[in-house]
Amino acid sequence: MADLGAYPMNGGDGLYSYSKNSNFQRKAIDAGKELIKEAISEKLDIKSFSSSNTFRVTDLGCSVGPNTFHAVQNIVDAVEQKYQSQGHNSQLPEFQVFFSDHTSNDFNALFQSLPPDRRYYATGVPGSFYSRLFPKAFIHFAYSSYALHCLSKVPEEVVDVNSTAWNKGRIHYSKSADQVVKAYTTQYAKDMECFLNARAQEIVCGGLMAFVVPGRPNGIPHTEVFVNTAKELFGSCLMDMAKKGIISEEKVDCFNIPQYIASLEEVEAIVKANGYFSVEIMENLTQEKPPPKVFAIGVRSGMEGMIRKHFGDEIMDELFDSFGKKLEESSCVLESKKSVSLFVLLKRRATE
């Protein structure tokens, strides 16, 4: 069973590196820039943090850059503007930014590309964001971009041949049986509960948390989402290779992508049930669809490690060439699918 978290984005600066193929995610960050500025201006009560001259920010699922640097700079700029707008020019805090990702992340590549003119102290924090990463009441602003749709693991039922949720012949849930969809939905809810519980311990009362993830509009079926349709095409490429005898069909049957595309309704219900955070902003952001070849390379930069571990090196070029062609052939179908990002801004409630 493949676990996306165990295999990081491609590091370094090669042809298929994440740093060179993450414009899709960068546009989502840029789309949320004004919302973060607005949130910090209107929702962040800096008076409650006045006892500390350090403002601590974390990017959860930072990967290898450069997107994380743009995101945290947006936050730092907005906080500085907040202080200045309230006449605290001489009392600007020092900033400490904690870049966090799995232990397998290429932190060397990340820190080698740190902006030389940054106005913050940088720290690396390895570990899964589905568990605790920081001391209690430590973080003032937590951020995550294009990471929270990744599950902690593949739902066990979907790779169990004895389960009614066995996802035979598919690597994703969007066109699968209801039992498969339910297994993914349940796993997502469990993971989000763990994520919120961990952050509730770490974020100061009144602190903010924002995240941007690929999503689907409320009421829209999973089958009508652009990224889900693309994953179905990717799965069909693997099945084509199995039919040719290049890989075994059994290998495909036990390979599922641990990602779930949620709606704002789902996120809101989970947050409210958790109770530790108030919902301050929730919006769908229109997400531009990249050209087929660009999208195929972007998927390769994010999934190559997982594919290689499960299927071996030999299939990589043929697989992604086939994927790129299928994306082009299906461009009319893909154009009709929905492509949005969810922007969610939460505030840590005061403790009882």
Domain assignment present for 271:
yes
Domain assignment present for 276:
yes
Q: Return all residues near 53 (Cβ < 8 A) that are at least 6 apart.
A: 91, 93, 94
Domain assignment present for 15:
no
- DSSP designation for 222: G
> What's this model's pTM, rounded to 2 decimal places?
0.92
- DSSP designation for 103: T
The side-by-side arrangement of strands in the sheet containing 203-215 is 121-126, 94-101, 54-60, 139-145, 203-215, 340-348, 277-286
Domain assignment present for 179:
yes
Nearest Cα neighbor of 347 from 135, 204, 133 is 204
Give the total number of structural domains in the chain: 1
**Do 299 and 235 meet the contact criterion of CB atoms below 8 Å apart?**
no
Provide the angle, in degrees to the nearest 10, between the axes of the packed helices 23-31 and 67-85: 10
Domain assignment present for 12:
no
Output phi, psi for 259, to 5 deg.
-135, 145
User: What CATH code is carried by the domain that includes residue 120?
Assistant: 3.40.50.150
Distance, in Å, from the CA atom of 280 to the CA atom of 347, rounded to the nearest integer, reads: 7
- From first to last of its 352 residues, the chain has per-residue pLDDT tens of 334 344 554 444 554 444 444 455 667 778 788 999 999 999 998 887 766 789 999 999 998 878 899 999 999 999 999 989 887 766 889 999 999 999 989 899 999 999 999 999 999 999 999 999 999 999 999 999 999 999 999 999 999 999 999 999 999 999 999 999 999 999 999 999 999 999 999 999 999 999 999 999 999 999 999 999 999 999 999 999 999 999 999 999 999 999 999 999 999 999 999 999 999 999 999 888 888 888 888 888 888 888 989 999 899 999 999 999 999 999 999 999 999 999 999 999 987 5
Instruction: Give the per-residue pLDDT at 51.
Output: 67
Domain assignment present for 9:
no
Q: Please, which residues bridge with residue 122 across strands?
A: 97
Instruction: Give the per-residue pLDDT at 303.
Output: 86
Domain assignment present for 14:
no
Instruction: Give the per-residue pLDDT at 322.
Output: 95
Instruction: Give the per-residue pLDDT at 25.
Output: 65
Domain assignment present for 329:
yes
| Three-class SS of 132-153 | CCCCCCCEEEEEEECCCCECCC
Residue type, 114: L
Distance, in Å, from the CA atom of 200 to the CA atom of 145, rounded to the nearest integer, reads: 18
Tell me which residue range forms the domain holding 206.
23-348
Nearest Cα neighbor of 124 from 93, 96, 148, 150 is 96
